[in-house]
Structure 1
Amino acid sequence: MDYQYPISYDWSTNETIEVIAFYTSVEKAYEKGVEREELMTAYKQFKSIVPSIAEEKKLCNELEELSGYSAYRVIQKAKKGAPGDKIKMQSR
């Protein structure tokens, strides 16, 4: 990983850790696969910290620009999945 995660300096340390856990779950989905429940739990925590759709899009777009990993596509696939599924994305 040769990039820094997009974060806000307004977040507490715990909030920053939760957001980074979500970003890590997105990376896992591309690199080796991630359990759907783990991903959705991380996303729920992320949304509790970033409730604004505009802010979510901004952060997720920054993550994609930096890493090439689309949080949007990962979450869409997870939402369509069933409990117990493993989410595995195809790298570009």
Structure 2
Amino acid sequence: MEYHYPIDYDWSTQEIVDVIKFYEAVEKAYEKGINRDELLNAYRRFKEIVPGKAQEKKLCGKFEELSGYSPYKTVKTVREANSGEMIRMR
């Protein structure tokens, strides 16, 4: 897809890379399916970088607006799944 990931330019290069990995994990959940634990680990790292709910909501909302993929729904599904399960969003 042709869009830019929502990021904060005050983050370090590694933090930007890790946030993009979370966005890519959400994309993978919609496009191919992803292991629950892999996505959960990417989300946990995302939350280390974006601990506040307001900023998380803003970034995830922008990502959903640009991509059509919902990080909120994906993470909700991941939390309800069992360890090792494949997550496939529709």
TM-score class normalised by the smaller sequence = over 0.9
Distance in 2 of aligned mates of 1:87 and 1:6 = 23
SS at the partner of 2:22?
helix
Aligned to 1:7: 7
Which residue is 1:45 aligned to? Answer: 45
Separation in 1 of the partners of 2:2 and 2:18? 20
Rounded Cα–Cα distance in structure 1 between residues aligned with 2:55 and 2:34: 24
The count of residues paired between Structure 1 and Structure 2 equals: 90
Q: What is the Cα deviation at residue 45 of structure 1?
A: 0.3
Q: Percent identity at matched positions?
A: 56
Runs of 4+ aligned structure 1 residues displaced above 2 Å come to none
Q: Distance in 2 between matches of 1:57 and 1:29?
A: 19
Structure 2 residue 79 is the aligned partner of structure 1 residue 75: no
Amino acid at match of 2:24: T
- Residue 81 of structure 2 aligns with an amino acid whose one-letter code is G
Q: CA RMSD in A?
A: 0.3
Any stretches of 5+ residues in structure 1 without a counterpart? none
Q: In structure 2, how many angstroms separate the alpha carbons of the residues matched to 1:83 and 1:64?
A: 25
How far off its partner does 1:20 sit? 0.2
Match of 1:17 in 2: 17
Pairwise CA distance, 1:67: 0.3
